[in-house]
Amino acid sequence: MRLFIAEKPSLGRAIAAGLGDVEKRNGYIECGQNVVTWCFGHLLEMNQPEAYDERYKVWKKEDLPILPNFFQTSVRKDAAAQMKIIGKLLRDAESVVNAGDPDREGQLLVDEVLEYHDYTGSCERIWLAALDDKSVKKALASMTGNNDYTGLRDAARARSQADWLVGMNCTRAMTLKGRDAGSQGVLSLGRVQTPTLALVVNRDLVIENFKPHPYFTLHVEILHEAGTFTGTFQPLDIQKGLDDQGRLISPDEAYRIKKEVSGQPGKILEAHKEKKKKNPPLPHCLSSLQKAASSKLGMGAKQVLDVAQALYEKKLTTYPRSDCRYLPEEQFDEAGSVLTALSNLPGLEQLAENTDSSIKSAAYNTKKVTAHHAIIPTGEIPSNLSADESALYRMIAQSFCIQFYAAMEFEAQKILTGINHTVWKSTGRKILNPGWTAFIKEQDDESASNQVLPQVHQDDDITAAQVDIKSQKTKPPARFTEGTLIEAMANVHKFIEDTEAKKTLKENEGIGTEATRAGIIETLKARQLIELQQKNIISTDLGRQLVKMAPGVLTDPVTTAQWESRLSAIAEGKESLSGFMTDQTIQVPELVKAIFALQLKPLPGTHLCPECGQPLRRQKSKKGSWYWGCFNQEGHAKPVFLNDKNGKPDLTPKKKIELSEHKCQACGKPLVKRESKKKGKGGKTNFWWGCSGFPECRQTYFDDNGKPRFKDKKGE
């Protein structure tokens, strides 16, 4: 019996359909001499620190760093039954096929199950980028040895172990250190999430500290015998009244230019025309799909990934976690059948029917295909889709269809005009063949004006009409949305000034991966480090505090990009898992040391101890009530405890205790007269007496006309 172990049930069902002769069982499917079973994502999870040692349940500075000699995993509680089914099937299997998703996590996900059951028999690997019948049968006919992918498995394992070391140790260290500055919650750090959070925080600070500056743009209507067109003022190097960006900020200069140019003659300095082509945008990868869906459909990054995954599992589109926008040239011959299927779908009929399947766009380039190709329709007919699934499917199908349209052809036009010692620039574009833009509105070419310029020649005479002055103000950058933050993570090199760092980040395609970026954003939201305000992502006070306190090596995107580069090297067999992890066990203690060495001032809004001035911590008692405590042993001999009042420490001065002349019968210390919470008849105030030796002595006495009622020798 040959056993296929798929990453998830939907993938297992697709493989079973491709094998045929299907007989469903509990947790698996029999297909003649083949059996297909499945995981539910990772069936194993990495253990928490307390699994290594019970003392790690309590977070203490002296226990850090935690560096296990070997990493332990446990079966997820909700996956125990399926793990037993797989174990039983493995005992009867003559060979196994790893049917994890086609990425490093998919490789590890199945391999670790085989390791858990000590399976050492024959094992193959099936690589499925799409779940339609044709793709499944093609993959079944071209399986390779699972040992060919040990590098991919080790890269995934290195990622999870490194994340554990950094996340567990740095989060504990930062949380413990943060308490010294008044932080009340867990301060979570991670190799990808922290630089991502820093992107948001830095953008928010730029926006909030931005001071708009006025500037002026000048436009003139230029009269030529062949026609009229508009020119925009182009300041020369000798122009006065410019800012460091070359914008005209002097109103006096603006009005002087207007006065000296309006109605004056001039000449054409340069006239250029150039025929150009604009190819259709490439099909989507996950990042481009997330950005487009965020902008046009208002969908969050995680939502896009989930919907794209659902379309993939319904066999309607190819693998969604792709970082590639190119297609294998070998698939070009299959395009016609896909286009025919799309031409029968409402809303896509006209676009698909007018395609030319003989056009081979730049998207078909096998050399540029990575582990996965672009996300495209499979040609299966969709049905019973949700509104989100339908909208996203249409977006994917549209980007595929336009690959089979001619390029847009246009004439790019440029004229420079000289008027009274000033230069004016005119740009225009004349559409020669709309090509794909006849069906898809072009949105990314804002550089060219919509005007069509007349036929002019150098040295032609012109006359300037009235100059129009437009007063404008500089604008801050836009806040991140989920779509633009995904794009920023993928292109984080654009936010770095260092030349070598830019190169490193660009080569490694930013921070995170196509498969993990949406999850990182969800993690930041769940930990209340960022929040959504309509479509915009805003950093919270906690998020800003964390970025401010975190060591630079953890907020710098170059650090995580270098890690991703090494993970890629492991996947390619150029570096070892052990070598990478050895370096992590050296680096993590340094990170912990750097965190504990931080000199932190009390955070804004922190409540300070009335005795020593150090930050108070809000904690919950065993009974569930909140209180505030200061445990600064250098500031006072005993811990200071204060009641919680509406989420803040009750700093109301306590009444001075007056000791009476009456002595406690139990220990001989003075008694204190106290007011009872319970009122007597008619609201009369009651009193009682307690020993001043509390809590060592807990003796109490009733009040008897202003005196403690002592017991006589007989106890009466």
pLDDT at residue 442 in the model: 58
User: What are 27-46's pLDDT values in tens digits?
Assistant: 999 999 999 999 999 999 99
Q: Which pLDDT band, with edges at 50, 70 and 90, does 481 fall under?
A: very high
pLDDT at 444: 45
For the cut 70, the answer to whether the pLDDT of residue 664 exceeds it is yes
What is the pLDDT of the chain when averaged over all its residues?
A: 91
Q: Which amino acid is it at 474?
A: T
Q: Which two tokens stand for residue 371?
A: 């582990």
Whether the Cβ atoms of residue 487 and residue 287 lie closer than 8 Å to each other: yes
Using the predicted structure, report yes or no on whether residue 509 has a pLDDT greater than 90: no
Label residue 716 by pLDDT band (50, 70, 90): very low
Query: What average pLDDT does the segment 258-287 reach?
Result: 96
Task: Please tell me which residue, 631 or 668, carries the higher pLDDT value.
Answer: 668
**Rounded Cα–Cα distance for residues 710 and 716 (Å):** 9
Give the pLDDT score at 565.
83
Q: Is 319 a catalytic residue?
A: yes
Is the CB of residue 176 less than 8 Å from the CB of residue 189? no
> What's the token pair of residue 613?
């001035």
How many whole angstroms separate alpha carbon 340 and alpha carbon 397?
A: 12
Q: What percent of the chain has pLDDT over 90?
A: 70
| Mean pLDDT confidence for 411-417 | 96
Q: Confidence class of residue 499 from pLDDT cuts 50, 70 and 90? A: confident
Torsion of the alpha carbons at 22, 24, 29 and 33, rounded to the nearest 10: -50
Task: Say if residue 715's pLDDT is above 50.
Answer: no
Task: State mean pLDDT over 252-269.
Answer: 97
Q: CA-CA distance, 389 to 397, in Å (whole number)?
A: 12
Encode pLDDT of 371-387 as tens digits. Answer: 789 999 999 999 999 99
Q: How far apart are CA 67 and CA 59, in angstroms?
A: 15
CATH 3.40.50.140 fits 2-142, yes or no: yes
Contact 287, 475 (CB under 8 A): no
| pLDDT over 80 at 653, yes or no | no
Topology at the third CATH level for domain 214-274+410-473:
Topoisomerase I; domain 3 (2.70.20)
The whole-angstrom separation of Cα 524 and Cα 544 is: 12
Coil, helix or strand at residue 158: helix
Using alpha carbons, select from 13, 11, 10, 6 the residue that is nearest to residue 39.
Answer: 6
DSSP state of 365: -
pLDDT band at 250 (very low <50, low <70, confident <90, very high): very high
Q: For residue 579, what are its two tokens?
A: 């070598």
| Calculated CA dihedral for residues 635, 638, 642, 647, nearest 10 degrees | 60
Q: Which residues contact 611 (CB under 8 A, 6 or more apart)?
A: 630, 635, 636, 640
* pTM, full prediction: 0.78
Nearest CA-CA partner of 316 in 131, 153, 161: 131
Same fold, 214-274+410-473 and 286-404: no
- Rounded Cα gap, residues 299 and 393, in angstroms: 13
- Token representation of residue 127: 């690589």
pLDDT-based confidence at 130, cuts 50/70/90? confident
Rounded CA separation 271/416 (Å): 7
Query: Which listed residue (28, 312, 319, 393) is catalytic?
Result: 319
Per residue in 224-248, pLDDT tens?
999 999 999 999 988 999 998 899 9
The CATH T-level fold of domain 286-404 is: Topoisomerase I; domain 4 (1.10.290)
What is the domain partition of the chain in residue ranges? 2-142, 159-208+479-596, 214-274+410-473, 286-404, 617-649, 659-708
Model confidence at 78: pLDDT above 50: yes
Domain 159-208+479-596 has CATH 1.10.460.10: yes
Stronger pLDDT, 407 or 696, i.e. the higher one: 407
